[in-house]
């Protein structure tokens, strides 16, 4: 990156880090996101604490009444096209995205006083991309995905465990559990990206970029 940012680990006190400014986005949202994700992954607090699940992001969608819903998902792929997560294509979030293919995601890296936020259109990833990721998952997670009709009601935990036993038997002769037809990835393609860095006296740094035709407009917001 032009500013040479991200080559050094976050100092023990994140507030001592240089001020975030527009130049940090000179190479686009993706470079800065990658640097911050790596910082979040590698950060060890003076007391030894770490950020649990640094790739966890809070995904916001809206239902058919316009009522917002948020939940955590894991970011399992990122490049300059967007951020990828995997889920059940018949879940509530998937129904929301069918109706309204736009979403937001927020990475709340509170321990290092940072946040990254993205909004944009969402599309399903290709079946090939889903399959490639699926086959990296532990068998237990694959079977769990088959067993769970995510977001539907179930009367007892025992029914879920029985469903897992049934799919375990169903696939016991197969070396590879197939991808469920109701499961796969989505890519959120940011048209807005905002990076937030905590500072003293609540004079936090917020730098946002917004897609503007084929380019991006980068600007500072008041905290
Ligand atoms: C740390 C964490 C990571 C999660 N990762 C995922 C994920 O990658 N995909 C997913 O479908 N659900 C994930 N969940 C569960 C979701 O938050 C949510 O409960 C589920 O997807 C159903 O959401 P929905 O009913 O709004 O569709 C995760 C939950 C937590 C707490």
Is 187 part of any domain?
yes
Mean per-residue pLDDT over the chain, rounded = 94
* 191-219 average pLDDT score: 96
User: What CA–CA distance (Å, rounded) separates 24 from 2?
Assistant: 8
Look at residue 146 in the predicted model and tell me its pLDDT. 98
The predicted pLDDT at position 10 comes to 65
Does any domain span residue 113? yes
Ligand 1 in reach of 71 Cβ (< 6 A): yes
Domain count, the chain: 1
Q: Is 150 in the pocket of ligand 1 (CB under 6 A)?
A: yes
Find, among 123, 119, 97, the residue nearest to 106 by Cα.
119
Reduce the DSSP state of residue 21 to 3 states and report it.
coil
Q: Is position 55 within any domain? A: yes
Annotated binding site for substrate: 76, 133, 137, 141, 202-204
Residue located nearest, by CA, to atom 3 of ligand 1: 73
pLDDT score, position 50: 96
**4 band by pLDDT with thresholds 50, 70 and 90:** very low
- Nearest atom within ligand 1 for CA of residue 52: 1
Q: Which domain holds residue 55?
A: 19-137+181-221
Residue 68 lies in a domain: yes
Would you give the distance in Å from CA 118 to the centre of its chain? 9
**Is residue 146 a part of any domain in this protein?**
no
Q: What are phi and psi of 75, to 5 degrees?
A: -80, 115
Q: Which pair of structure tokens corresponds to residue 49?
A: 């604490």
Is 202 catalytic? The answer is yes
The SS3 assignment for 162 reads helix
Phi and psi at residue 6, in whole multiples of 5°? 95, 0
Determine the pLDDT at residue 14.
Answer: 75
Q: Does the Cβ of 73 fall within 6 Å of ligand 1?
A: yes
* Residue 142 domain-assigned (yes or no): no
Q: How are beta strands 183-197 and 114-124 bridged, if at all?
A: antiparallel
> Which two tokens mark 155?
């009367």
Listed residue (194, 189, 197) closest to 6, CA to CA:
197
- Which pLDDT score is estimated for 12? 62
What's the 27 CA to ligand 1 centre distance in angstroms? 31
Look up residue 5 and give its DSSP letter: T
The domain spanning residue 216 has which CATH number? 2.30.110.10
Question: Ligand 1, residues 71, 93, 94: which to mutate, most atoms within 8 A of Cβ?
Answer: 71
The residues with which 56 forms a beta bridge, in sequence order, are 74
Q: In terms of pLDDT, which residue wins out, 7 or 4?
A: 7
Residue 171 near residue 143, CB atoms below 8 Å: yes
Residue 84 CB neighbour total at 10 angstroms: 20
Distance 46 CA to ligand 1 centre (A): 31
Specify whether the CB–CB gap between 56 and 72 falls below 8 A.
Answer: yes
Q: What is the mean pLDDT of residues 1-11?
A: 48
Residue 206 lies in a domain: yes
The answer as to whether 9 is a domain residue is: no
Query: Has residue 156 got a pLDDT over 60?
Result: yes
Q: From 188, 187, 178, select the one nearest 134 (Cα to Cα).
A: 178
User: pLDDT per residue over 80-120, tens digit each?
Assistant: 999 999 999 999 999 999 999 999 999 999 999 999 999 99
Q: For residue 61, give the ligand 1 atom closest to its CA.
A: 26
Q: State how far Cα 174 lies from the chain centre.
A: 31
Tokens of 180: 């469920």
Is the CB of 93 inside a 6 Å radius of any atom of ligand 1?
Answer: yes
Give residue 17's pLDDT: 85
């Amino acid at each position: 990156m032009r500013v040479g940012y991200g080559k050094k680990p976050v100092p023990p006190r994140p507030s001592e880090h240089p001020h975030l400014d527009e130049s940090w986005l000179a190479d686009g949202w993706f470079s800065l996101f990658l640097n911050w994700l790596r910082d979040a992954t590698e950060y060890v607090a003076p007391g030894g604490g770490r950020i649990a699940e640094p790739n966890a992001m809070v995904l916001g969608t809206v239902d058919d009444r316009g009522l917002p819903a948020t939940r955590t998902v894991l970011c399992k792929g990122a490049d300059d096209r967007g951020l990828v997560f995997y889920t059940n294509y018949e879940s509530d979030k998937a129904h929301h995205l069918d109706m309204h293919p736009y979403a937001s995601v927020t990475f709340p890296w509170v321990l290092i006083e940072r946040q990254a936020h993205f909004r944009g259109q969402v599309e399903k990833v290709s079946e090939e991309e889903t399959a490639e990721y699926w086959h990296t998952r532990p068998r237990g997670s694959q079977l769990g995905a088959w067993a769970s009709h995510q977001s539907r009601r179930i009367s007892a935990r025992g029914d879920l465990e029985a469903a897992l036993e049934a799919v375990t038997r169903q696939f016991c002769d197969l070396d590879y559990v197939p991808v469920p037809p109701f499961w796969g990835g989505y890519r959120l393609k940011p048209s807005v990206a905002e990076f937030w860095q905590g500072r003293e006296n609540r004079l936090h740094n917020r730098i946002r970029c917004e897609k503007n035709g084929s380019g991006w407009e980068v600007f500072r917001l008041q905290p």
